Amino acid sequence: MIELIKKHNFFKDTVIKSINLFENQGYCNDNYLITCENEKYILRKLLKNDINRDFEYKVSKLAFKINISPEPLLFEKDNSFMLFEFIEGVHKNNLETNDLTLLAKALQSLHNIKIGSHPIKLDIKSNTNQIKNAFETISKYPNEYVLCHSDLNSQNILFIKNKVKLIDWEYAGVMDRYFDFASIIIEFNLNKEEENIFLLAYDQNIQIQQDKLTAYKHIYKILCQEWFKDNKKA
């Protein structure tokens, strides 16, 4: 992969000074930092074959157009890699009021993107009464389908001064917006006050259905447990 990149036409007019594997890696890609004379890039070597990478790249381009994602520069499906601009930012585990507001506005912008795609069906193996009750609760409310990121943990969110950039779009898809709400609330362990700040910053006129949100929180937790269990086996 490294030799392929060094010889790639994209870099023909520049000198690559280094290609370094990031210390912390995800499960779906190997991520490298490419340092050139005047620019830096993120190289993502794509590992999992059960992800729609064409859709992932399409979404990343749409997100870049509205300034909530780094610029996607190259996608070579046959060679299983994507190239993105590198952006200096901070991953945060604890969010202050301004962080919550910035993240909410970025999420609102994402949810306003129009894309032609069928909704994703949540695939949960667990068949407990809690899960059954959660889906039964959700069924009582109208679907609020939007383009969701679906994997909004702290490592996929970059805070850059007064902006937020979202990265790693492999699980993006059309889902109920409550799924993204739940993921942020769970991942950042928001208390009720923080949750309200976030949701009102998303839309000051929003009328949150608390039973529906609680159901999605439970579903999100179970999905994460199952996902990590399956990927540890892989």
CATH number at 137 reads: 3.90.1200.10
Q: What CATH number is associated with residue 14?
A: 3.30.200.20
Domain that holds residue 157: 97-233
Residue 23 lies in a domain: yes
Of 27-31, 64-68, 168-172, 218-222, the range with the lowest mean pLDDT is 27-31
**Number of residues that this document lists for the chain:** 234
Overall pTM > 0.85: yes
Q: Of 65, 85, 105, which residue constitutes the final position of a domain?
A: 85
- In Å, what is the CA distance from 34 to each residue of 79, 112, 157? 17, 33, 20
Quick one: 130 and 53 in the same domain? no
Predicted local distance difference test score (pLDDT) of residue 233: 41
| Number of domains the chain contains | 2
pLDDT band at 232 (very low <50, low <70, confident <90, very high): low
Tens digit of each residue's pLDDT (9 = 90 or more) over 50-108? 899 999 999 999 999 999 999 999 999 999 999 999 999 999 999 999 999 999 999 99
Predicted local distance difference test score (pLDDT) of residue 18: 95
Binning the chain into helix, strand and coil, the percentages to the nearest 5 are 40, 20, 40
Tens digit of each residue's pLDDT (9 = 90 or more) over 105-123? 999 999 999 998 999 998 8
